[in-house]
Amino acid sequence: MKIEKIELFEIQLPLVHPFRTSFGTQVKRDVIVVKLQGDGLIVWGECVASAGPWYSSETIGTAWHVMTEFLLPLVIGQDISAPADMPKLMKPVRGHVMAKAALENAVWTWFAEAENKPLSVLLGGVRERVEVGVSIGIQPSIEQLVDRVSGFVEAGYRRIKMKIEPGWLIEPIERIRTKFPEVRLMGDANSAFTLDDVALLKEVDPYGLLMLEQPLSYDDIADHARLQAQIDTPVCLDESIHGPADAQAMIDLKAGRIINLKVGRVGGFTNALKIHDMAQAAGIQMWCGGMLETGIGRAGNVHLATLPNFVLPGDISATERYYARDIANPPFVLNREDSTMTVPTGPGLGVEIDTELIDHLASRRHKVEG
């Protein structure tokens, strides 16, 4: 495939509910959408970088800069024989994994469409439905948290992730655990704790949580190993895993038992597959994380979660929980009976892109041809 044309669009979509984590409150999703053209096909990708450098050091601004100035010149006009050529072409650029993933993933979709296969099949997936859960932000009160969880449990979600931080830990966990004993419950700290909090985090053990996600620093692996050695709750790493080398360090140091795999955070599907296989061989469970994606990224996540070692429910919730109107259709819906999402069966992502809406929402555009 020759990459003939790439267009970037920056758009903003309002969130249905504000999303509060230990690093702040988000009311809208700023997102860069990639349109890639070649050999008579047009495919789309999404960059999962956020507006600010809170979850990761990458932002919409850095991704735009690195893509327009450095990555697009490396890939435009290139003849690609397999998706794994993309990371090789982009190797001169260090870091900027989310910017790279947006481009590489569009190329994966291109190959899937060219072979008339769903992306899941090209990736090596084995499922027609993927188990999903919901990630609930920190609420103004425990009562509001109970209300939110009730709503999602009634909607059919059987795995609930609560965002946690110092001061929003034992009480809310205890309330939810007691009121919804059948729910698979977990906490995500987004790095809000330190090793000084071991005693506090040990207090979580009796509640039998599915896991404690990223309790310590975003770039740490060694302290997570020290923590895991002292608590029973399985530690899951999110922010700390930027690629296969981090996954190897986690395995070697026993820094946790579970990986939250986000394809954007590890630089694209090629690295995601490598980490998948490494984790599987090491007995590390995994699940597919989310970044409040639009329907483009969400579709990619659903396809990725069909791989065999995605044995835990992903942060892939129904579209209506994020956006009143999405840029891809049809919206993803929850299968109530088994808390799953059905994997699209059409070629590529298997969703219809609303190009008019993207055009209408675009606040910034860039185009290269080669």
Q: Give the binding site for Mg ion (CB under 5 A).
A: 188, 213, 238
Q: Is 163 a catalytic residue?
A: yes
Binding mask 53-72 for ligand OSB (x = CB under 6 A): --x-----------------
Least distance to Mg ion from the beta carbon of 288, Å? 12
How many residues touch ligand OSB (CB under 6 A)? 11
CA 239 from chain centre, in angstroms, equals 11
d(CA 304, CA 225): 27
**Closer residue to ligand OSB in complex, CB, 55/110:** 55
Least distance to ligand OSB from the beta carbon of 260, Å? 6
Residue 343 is classified by DSSP as P
120, 317, 319, 339: which one binds ligand OSB (CB under 6 A): 317
Least distance to ligand OSB from the beta carbon of 331, Å? 14
Taking alpha carbons only, the member of 131, 102, 92, 93 closest to residue 6 is 102
Least distance to Mg ion from the beta carbon of 258, Å? 11
Options 28, 262, 274, 367, the catalytic residue:
262
Q: Is 262 a catalytic residue?
A: yes
Strands 184-188 and 159-163: parallel
DSSP secondary structure, 256-325, as one string: -SEEEE-TGGGTSHHHHHHHHHHHHHHT-EEEE---S--HHHHHHHHHHTTSTTB-S-BS---GGGT-SS
Least distance to ligand OSB from the beta carbon of 120, Å? 19
Residue 188 binds ligand OSB, judged by CB under 6 A: yes
**149 SS3 class:** helix
Residues 6+ apart with CB under 8 A from 67: 8, 32, 47, 99, 102, 103, 366
**Closer residue to Mg ion in complex, CB, 113/188:** 188
Taking alpha carbons only, the member of 118, 63, 110 closest to residue 83 is 110
366's tokens: 């860039």
Residues 6+ apart with CB under 8 A from 183: 149, 153, 158, 159, 160, 176
Residue 291 binds ligand OSB, judged by CB under 6 A: yes
d(CA 290, CA 80): 28
Residue 168 binds ligand OSB, judged by CB under 6 A: no
Residue 190 binds ligand OSB, judged by CB under 6 A: yes
Residue 290 binds ligand OSB, judged by CB under 6 A: yes
Residue 135 binds ligand OSB, judged by CB under 6 A: yes
| Window 225-244: residues binding ligand OSB (CB under 6 A) | 238
**Closer residue to ligand OSB in complex, CB, 67/134:** 134
Length of the chain: 370
Residues 6+ apart with CB under 8 A from 354: 326, 327, 328, 329
**Closer residue to ligand OSB in complex, CB, 36/211:** 211
**Closer residue to Mg ion in complex, CB, 104/238:** 238
**Closer residue to ligand OSB in complex, CB, 7/315:** 315
Active-site residues: which are they?
163, 262
Q: Which residues bind ligand OSB (CB under 6 A)?
A: 55, 135, 188, 190, 238, 289-292, 315, 317
